[in-house]
Amino acid sequence: MNPFSSGTRLRDMIRAIRACKTAAEERAVVRKECAAIRAAISENDQDYRHRNLAKLMFIHMLGYPTHFGQMECLKLIASAGFPEKRIGYLGLMLLLDERQEVLMLVTNSLKQDLNHSNQYIVGLALCALGNICSAEMARDLAPEVERLLHGRDPNIKKKAALCSIRIIRKVPDLAENFMGPAASLLKEKHHGVLIAGVQLCTDLCKANTDALEYLRKNCTEGLVRILKDVSNSPYAPEYDIAGITDPFLHIRVLRLMRMLGQEDADSSEYMNDILAQVATKTESNKNVGNAILYECVETIMGIEATSGLRVLAINILGRFLSNRDNNIRYVALNMLMKAITVDAQAVQRHRTTILECVKDSDASIRKRALELVFLLVNDGNVKPLAKELIDYLEVSDQEFKGDLTAKICSIVEKFSQEKLWYIDQMFKVLSLAGNYVKDDVWHALIVVISNAPDLQGYSVRSLYRALQTSYEQESLVRVAVWCIGEYGEMLVNNVGVLEVEEPMTVTESDAVDAVELALKRHSSDMTTRAMSLIALLKLSSRFTPTSERIKEIVTQHKGSVALELQQRSIEFNSIIQRHQNIKWVTDLLVVNNIARHPLKILVVESMHLLLGCWCMCRSSLVERMPVLDEAAYLGKRAGSSQPTLSAEKSSKPTTSAASLKLPNGVAKPPAAPLVDLLDLSSDDAPVLPSAPNDFLNDLLGIGLPNSSSSGAAPSTTTDLLMDLLSIGTSPAQNGPSDSNVVPSSAKAAESKPAPVTAPVMDLLDGLPSNASPPRDENLVYPTITAFESSTLKIAFSFEKQPEKPQVTLISATFTNLSSSTLTNFIFQAAVPKFVQLHLDPASSSTLPANGNGTITQSLRVTNTQHGQKPLAMRVRMAYKFNDEDKLEQGQISNFPPGL
């Protein structure tokens, strides 16, 4: 013993660590050991290097950092003796991986060891190379490995073959170098070499089609012979497992046959006989036999096998499926999923068994079975299958409910032939597992209900009934609340009762109770509560007797800590107070809610906008929400990026019958720009073709052009708003729509001249010249007259901080040019997408006559594309003039350059 060595033996260290009672103790022991090892490393202690490395490996397995030992591995590998090399390579494989640069340093040692005279040292080097080599090392050492493939020793050959697999995986280009040697390995007798050779061939086929062709031509016969020999071989104790000779070789040969026979009739035909023999003769009472059968079935399914062989394969799977061993059932389900493309009819025969597997206690089996059932559903069997699954939903495990619900929903959506059935199934799912239903699923349900006028009464009543028992299911509550809000009177008056329904009496206050409960329930989230508020608002106009009560409920939420709820209740409260003319305001709010638009600011802005203008509306009742276009919604949900509304779709009669008088008196065809306002990021928002939207159009200052002028692309008319807010994002789309905007705003200006000085086109065309605006040191910009009409003048003055060139502070001054006072004055502005706008509150909402006073309002504008794109803005002013609602709009394009 070296008297200076303080280290303990490996065994003692393991004992010490095992004796530790707490994690802290263990850390202390490890720290002490690591310190000793570091000291030994720095002293370059040679005697105990291998022992220290062994200790480090143990410490590494416990999860402690051991990077300081990496160089020790390299030193041990470089030493001459076998014991040192053995432990050195082990440490290398354990402590390093291919991504560490230290590994490169070992390339030279590896090269030397690959050429070593001792076969065991060559074996060590091959093993290390095969387990952790990087792409660079693979390139450097491939010739050595290839040479070893031609050697004589089977131990070296099999290791070199597996090492080649790693090399090909890292550098697929090298595949062709290994084609020849790999093919010759298949002529060997030694099983280890054969197994490794067959695997190398399989990987070559994956890496390179030339290799696949080459092996198909040269090896198919040889493979069939190997399989024949091994499956007919008499008892061989060395390779025997449960009465079968070398199942591993069986399986690997079968796998390679699958690669070679795929889409190749000739080689497939050559394999038929032996596959039939393996499939019929293999014993299936042990796991080994089943493993071979499993692989054999997969190969039969994979190649161009005869139909008889395929029937045989499917029958084997059927036997597997009824096996009592869970593993066998698991692989059977797995395999049937692949078989369904080959022979759907045969798989259908096992439907009942598969359905039973969905209810298994084993999560892995359940998951597989559910996926399989999903593939099995067709128009003919959807009803019984959906019923089975929904029945099971009630008793299934919590963690499985999510998957199960998602699958049921998609089955029901995909295969529903009649709406009533679809609605019924969805209601069942919602009541059983509403908490697991995804948002887009219940959104789609609402779209369907709103499109089925004859089922709306039935839906709202069923939902009301379901609510009584399943109040804890969030999505059920949402859909129910929405339906009660929309179709509350159908609930109370029993409109459109179907034959299957049981009679039910619900009073107006019962309906309000239900919504109130949803609003006040602790588990309700923000969305549900917000929807409840909207439903209440709608009910307030339909159920006049309950109006006072609803007002009270809404008032209670004025102090809500959630901004959204607080805002809604304050606004709704004022709406109820001035209970008139709130027709579509609520409709739009519902849309906001469903869209759940991420651009909250935009939504809130639009709410302001709408509420600011509600007083101008002339309709009298809270109307139903406009019907969502089902096809367009589903199409959009399916992933189409743009809602493609054809003219006939958008002119489809809608339930909201009120046609709105437009301020400038131009009759406009219905279209759906509203949606685009709320759906700029084009997520799953519904598409709304309906009359009221025209109004919003006008609010936003965009008249619709004649359809003849927009014949080029229907989407340009529907996406005007989109364009307004995304000017300059995609020229291809903006081109036509911009030209549409200009004449229409000119049209709007007929009644009240709005100084649209330059069309948007010019604004955008001016881009190149404005690309590098002059950098004014003082940053002084002239005050401009942004807007002037017979009644109103707006002046903008600008301020900029030199350190923030993107941000401009605009103070707007409004002057009344007419002879009467303007009240309820509201100013709004819209900017392109690349600009952020922040509006501060105005100094007042009353503007005295004859310029005897002004309103000021400041705007903060951040141009994210400062220096590349000029600022543009649309403005809109709403006010009361001689007790009449007025609306003015305009576009500001005369901003000084450099903003």
Q: Are 623 and 589 in contact (CB under 8 A)?
A: no
In this complex, which beta carbon is closest to other proteins, that of residue 248 or of residue 895?
248
- With tokens 């660590």, the residue in question is 17
In this complex, which beta carbon is closest to other proteins, that of residue 195 or of residue 377?
195
In this complex, which beta carbon is closest to other proteins, that of residue 59 or of residue 309?
59
Q: How far is the CB of 170 from other proteins (least distance, A)?
A: 10
CA distance 689 to 447: 13
Q: How far is the CB of 164 from other proteins (least distance, A)?
A: 9
In this complex, which beta carbon is closest to other proteins, that of residue 131 or of residue 277?
131
Q: Which residues bind other proteins (CB under 8 A)?
A: 11, 14, 18, 54, 57-58, 61-63, 65, 81-83, 86-87, 90, 93-94, 97-99, 120, 123, 126-127, 130-131, 155, 158-159, 162-163, 165-166, 169, 191-192, 195-196, 199, 238-239, 241, 246-249, 251-252, 255, 287-288, 290-291, 294-295, 298, 326-331, 334, 361-365, 367
In this complex, which beta carbon is closest to other proteins, that of residue 93 or of residue 878?
93
Q: How far is the CB of 864 from other proteins (least distance, A)?
A: 37
In this complex, which beta carbon is closest to other proteins, that of residue 11 or of residue 21?
11
In this complex, which beta carbon is closest to other proteins, that of residue 191 or of residue 461?
191
In this complex, which beta carbon is closest to other proteins, that of residue 229 or of residue 762?
229
In this complex, which beta carbon is closest to other proteins, that of residue 71 or of residue 363?
363
Q: How far is the CB of 639 from other proteins (least distance, A)?
A: 23
CA distance 630 to 455: 15
In this complex, which beta carbon is closest to other proteins, that of residue 255 or of residue 876?
255
CA distance 529 to 116: 77
- With tokens 């390299």, the residue in question is 74
In sequence order, which residues have a C-beta less than 8 Å from that of residue 824 and are 6 or more positions away? Answer: 615, 845, 878, 879, 880
In this complex, which beta carbon is closest to other proteins, that of residue 229 or of residue 525?
229
Q: How far is the CB of 130 from other proteins (least distance, A)?
A: 4
Q: How far is the CB of 171 from other proteins (least distance, A)?
A: 14
CA distance 638 to 633: 8
> Which residues, listed in sequence order, are joined to residue 827 by a DSSP beta bridge?
877
Q: Are 380 and 413 in contact (CB under 8 A)?
A: no
Q: How far is the CB of 113 from other proteins (least distance, A)?
A: 14
Q: How far is the CB of 638 from other proteins (least distance, A)?
A: 25
Please write down the HEC assignment for all residues of 168-181: HHHCHHHHHHHHHH
Q: How far is the CB of 273 from other proteins (least distance, A)?
A: 22
Q: How far is the CB of 60 from other proteins (least distance, A)?
A: 8
How many helices and strands in the chain, by DSSP H and E? 41, 10
Which H or E element spans position 795?
strand 792-800
Q: How far is the CB of 296 from other proteins (least distance, A)?
A: 11
In this complex, which beta carbon is closest to other proteins, that of residue 248 or of residue 781?
248
Please write down the HEC assignment for all residues of 264-312: CHHHHHHHHHHHHHHHHHCCCCCHHHHHHHHHHHHHHHHCCCCHHHHHH
Please write down the HEC assignment for all residues of 446-512: HHHHHCCHHHHHHHHHHHHHHHHHCCCCHHHHHHHHHHHHHHHHHHHHCCCCCCCCCCCCCCHHHHH
In sequence order, which residues have a C-beta less than 8 Å from that of residue 653 and are 6 or more positions away? Answer: none
> What tokens appear for 747 in the block?
């049209």
Nearest residue to 334 (alpha-carbon basis) of 303, 280, 289, 294: 294
Q: What is the CA radius of gyration of the chain?
A: 38
Q: How far is the CB of 111 from other proteins (least distance, A)?
A: 18
- 480, 481, 485, 488: CA torsion to nearest 10: 50
In sequence order, which residues have a C-beta less than 8 Å from that of residue 101 and are 6 or more positions away? Answer: none
Q: How far is the CB of 88 from other proteins (least distance, A)?
A: 12
**Which burial class, exposed, middle or buried, applies to 609 when counting CB atoms under 10 A from its CB (0-12, 13-18, 19+)?**
buried
The gap between the terminal CA atoms of the chain, to the nearest Å, is 83
In this complex, which beta carbon is closest to other proteins, that of residue 191 or of residue 636?
191
CA distance 672 to 692: 9
Residue 364's alpha-carbon distances to 8, 98, 333, 636, 856, in angstroms, are: 47, 33, 10, 34, 67
